[in-house]
Structure 1
Amino acid sequence: MASSRTPQQRGRIPAALAVFLGLMSMLNAGNCDEQVPLILWTSDGISLPSQSAPTAGHIVGQQQLATYLENALNVGPRNVVLFLQDKMSVEDFTMYGGAFGNKQDSVFPNLEGALMSSSSPLVLPSVSWPASNAVIGQLQDQLETSPLYMDPETLSQLRLNASSPALLVFRLPYGVGSDLMSAREILSGNDEVIGQVLSIMKTQSVPYTAIYTALRPSREAASLSVEAGLGGGRSLLQARGGHREKERERERQQRIKERAGTYGPVEFKEGEDTCILLWAKGLSVSILRSGRWEDHDLTPSTFGEGVNPKLHGSSCDKTRAKLVLNYENVLGHRSFKLILAMSQRHYSVSARRWFTLDAVELEYDGTKATFNGSRNVYAPAEYSYRCESVTSFRWPLLVPHSSKDPANQWRVSFEDFQIQGFNVSGGEFSYASDCAGFFSPGIWMGLMTSLLMVLVLTYGLHMIMQLRTMDRFDDPKGPAISVPQTE
């Protein structure tokens, strides 16, 4: 982690990195299914203060990782390039990084070149993957900007400013097929993407801080059910007084929660009382430009552990509620708002109060796009509303306010959507009124198919009943029977 190196020392960095990761994998052989590696470096010519690497066998938790990132970003460039792979384990570097002298077989030439050119690389071989899952939220809080999900083509059209922080996220795939070559090819392709991105950043002459990590380990040896059955062994280790075991237990509980996909809803309070709740598994917006749709995922900026969306402008009372989600740098717009306006009133026909989602509005750079949702999104005022999919396309429940409204150039999509704007008690959703009707498309298809089969069967029985048995039969030994045509 020295701030300067001789050319000879720089030439040995990739090999030292691979050997170091290999050593860490042997020391963590019993826990390799619980951690992911994290590598941080800066652009050429930028130095960071030296940070001591964790001791062998130590697992970097969420708080310690936040400290590492904070120390790097307080001094280093605040244009952050995050390469977030779906899965990765330290064994991927030892198996495919040429750790045992066969450097010509390494699938990480661009990554190794970047580390060799950087004067301040930081290698964390064992980061708990709940902590790596929260790295986007930590960077977002420290940079005070929303993440931009990019690809190399989009990055080439973006102009960065060294004085303005940016969080650029590049999602990288990972998969293992029936043979080992599939993982090698995917990792090699990911390394090529890293090389393309770093080349584009170099052409823009903007200093940057790069991070390469993953959401979860690529080699999980034990499932949650197996972990749940190890209570006796865990109790024995805890009886020995190991602080590390207690930390692992807390992380295990956190993993169970994250694997189940549970996180709290967006909550707006008026004073001390919660009055609006919103939850969704996925939230995205798209805009039509030059004949193609450009997508932006708002889920990481809205939901998840440690994510605190900006809700200024929201309000609620007994008859009206408005939830305002404020974002930055969404599809090229510096200021972007997603507004959900609701109201409730008494309906004499049903003799009860109902609430409706009157409008979903997008405000960006002084322009407003409005989707009407009151015809489809409604529920009793004492209930919450839930629907598997609420979109402005593909069986839309949200429709543009008019044919000339800017909403015709936008798409909004909520996946596994639930909202409640009135009568919230205890900070939890009330009983959910589901959007699915009694007769779903599948039920209608089954009924129509059954009706068609009944009609065919009825017609067939009718034709069979019309058949008449012959009352005369021909004897082959006697004269032929003559049947008059008049009978």
Structure 2
Amino acid sequence: MAASLWPNQATFIAVLCIFSSTRALASHVPLLIWSSDSLPPVAPPAAGHITSSSELSAFLSSALSSGTHTVLLFLQDKLSQDDFTRYGGVFGNKEDSAFKNIEAALQSHSVVFPALEWTGSSAVPALLAEKLGVSPALVAPETFPDLQMDSSVNNLFLINMPYCGQDKPCRETLKENDETVGQVLKTLEDKKVAYTALFTGVQPSRVIAELSLSGTPVGRSLLQTPAPPAVPPPIMYNVSGNPCIMLWAQNLNVSFTETEIWTDLAQQTPTLTGSFCNASNSVLVLTYTGGITLSFFMSQRFYPVSARAWFTLDRVLLQQNAVTVSFSSRLVSAPAEYSYHCQSVSSFRDALLTPINTTTTWKVNLIDFQIQGFSLNNGTNFSYASDCAGFFTPGIWMGLLTSLLMLWIFVYGLHMILQLNTMDRFDDPKGPCISVPQTE
């Protein structure tokens, strides 16, 4: 049975208006869920109720309990209830609504949580990954039509979308996001793929302050387990629907000044325009806001000595506006069927990246870096990682040498003890003295 909480667009946004006008906690975001098949029924929440993470977990367990599922998560940089009331079609012209496709998708088989407890940017992706047993794959909207999905296994696709910026009106940005949602849904309908879609925000776009009822603390507070740190999904480039290049890093730090003012590109969503791959070469081009582009050039060769193919990260290109600096990285290599992982890939400390122009002040520091440009045969997961840290680390060498020194001292001492001999005759001071006759 379909779980349609609000049967029409006007009622849906009107309910969001009621929730916006109530005094609620500041940290919450709306969550919209719809499906091409059906969803379990949910009772309409009371006004002012904030859905907890445990309530959402219970609903997802019921919705994704049986069979395989293809789940789409449309994750906007920011989203609040006020965005639907301001840019929707209730208080203005309905034809000018910025959420036409989303409102149409909610007409049947939908569930809306107007206020979901917000505990961090990775809460919803991590919860879906736990329920489906797969990691979320970051997919660019322009490459989604070419993506080939295996309906026999669970799939979780993450599509990031921007929020209002300074260079474009907010309504226009939200309309473009809504058109992206419509194009992705049309692609799935054309391929006749059953899906479940979710639309929410990384964080609230507006904060509603909650007035304190008392200036003094009331009762006791319980200790809470801290939320897990945000883990962004890997960046994936697809060709004809097949995964071709994957990259993940905890931090993609770049600096353009001598004072080392760092910019972490991992906190932004890049475009992959200009990337390509084939059997022998792969190029991953990450373009960010502010005219910053980070490119990774990889090649694959067969080496007769080792009787296997190896891939090498030949160079890393950092570009800002019209200025480009190239970093050589011949030491970054791994077997072609493996991925490469290193805790730190930098251009200034234990450098694996060497700038071709030695006078440049630009620096790159990649933390917990993993990349694979070939042989991505297992879908959305990295292959076995070849780590840059060798087995015999300095600590292991120190331990081995110390152990060998102690063993040598022990063996030498034991050898000296075994060489001791007992005297076969002793002088008796109480007996007669030994006399030796002298002859002339």
* Partner of residue 22, structure 1: 17
Q: For structure 2, which runs of at least 5 residues remain unmatched after alignment?
A: 251-275, 278-299, 301-307, 315-324, 362-440
* Partner of residue 60, structure 1: 51
Taking only aligned residues, the RMSD between alpha carbons, in angstroms, comes to 4.6
Shift of 1:19: 0.5
Secondary structure of the residue aligned to 2:113 is strand
Sequence identity percentage: 31
Does residue 35 of the first structure (1) align with residue 34 of the second (2)? no
Q: For structure 1, which runs of at least 5 residues remain unmatched after alignment?
A: 264-280, 301-330, 333-360, 362-366, 374-392, 420-432, 447-487
Secondary structure of the residue aligned to 1:194 is helix
* Preserved contact between residue 59 and residue 126 of structure 1 (Cα < 8 Å): yes
Query: Which of 144, 169, 176 pairs up with 1:189?
Result: 176
Distance 1:371-1:442 versus aligned 2 partners, 3 A rule: closer
* Preserved contact between residue 60 and residue 126 of structure 1 (Cα < 8 Å): yes
Query: Which of 153, 157, 167 pairs up with 1:164?
Result: 153
After TM superposition, the structure 1 = structure 2 runs for residues 244-259 of structure 1, keeping only pairs within 5 Å, are none
Distance 1:145-1:283 versus aligned 2 partners, 3 A rule: closer
Distance 1:143-1:206 versus aligned 2 partners, 3 A rule: same
Shift of 1:238: 4.8
1-structure distance, mates of 2:171, 2:18: 21
Secondary structure of the residue aligned to 2:119 is helix
* Preserved contact between residue 287 and residue 411 of structure 1 (Cα < 8 Å): no
* Preserved contact between residue 58 and residue 126 of structure 1 (Cα < 8 Å): yes
2-structure distance, mates of 1:298, 1:70: 28
Shift of 1:68: 1.9
Which is helix-richer, 1 or 2? Answer: 1
Q: Which amino acid aligns with 2:31?
A: L
Count how many residue pairs are aligned between Structure 1 and Structure 2.
Answer: 293
Shift of 1:149: 1.3
Instruction: Note the alpha carbon deviations across 1:251-271, whole angstroms, 9 max, x for none.
Output: 9x75xxx8xxx67xxxxxxxx
1-structure distance, mates of 2:85, 2:238: 44
* Partner of residue 202, structure 2: 215
Shift of 1:147: 1.5
Distance 1:203-1:398 versus aligned 2 partners, 3 A rule: same
Query: Which of 123, 141, 150 pairs up with 1:134?
Result: 123
After TM superposition, the structure 1 = structure 2 runs for residues 198-277 of structure 1, keeping only pairs within 5 Å, are 198-220=185-207, 233=212, 236=215, 238-239=217-218
2-structure distance, mates of 1:100, 1:207: 34
2-structure distance, mates of 1:132, 1:286: 20
* Preserved contact between residue 76 and residue 200 of structure 2 (Cα < 8 Å): yes
Distance 1:20-1:137 versus aligned 2 partners, 3 A rule: same
Distance 1:443-1:406 versus aligned 2 partners, 3 A rule: closer
Q: Which amino acid aligns with 1:163?
A: S
Distance 1:177-1:52 versus aligned 2 partners, 3 A rule: same
Secondary structure of the residue aligned to 2:46 is coil
In the superposition, the TM-score normalised over structure 1's length comes to 0.50
Shift of 1:53: 3.8
Query: Which of 33, 39, 42 pairs up with 1:51?
Result: 42
Distance 1:95-1:445 versus aligned 2 partners, 3 A rule: closer
Instruction: Note the alpha carbon deviations across 1:214-249, whole angstroms, 9 max, x for none.
Output: 110112367xxxx9xx9xx5874751x6x9xx69x9
Q: Which amino acid aligns with 1:42?
A: S
2-structure distance, mates of 1:394, 1:370: 19
1-structure distance, mates of 2:332, 2:344: 19
* Preserved contact between residue 22 and residue 47 of structure 2 (Cα < 8 Å): yes
Instruction: Note the alpha carbon deviations across 1:391-413, whole angstroms, 9 max, x for none.
Output: xx9535563559xx749xx9968
Secondary structure of the residue aligned to 1:130 is coil
Secondary structure of the residue aligned to 1:126 is strand
Distance 1:39-1:131 versus aligned 2 partners, 3 A rule: farther
Shift of 1:57: 1.6
2-structure distance, mates of 1:47, 1:371: 47
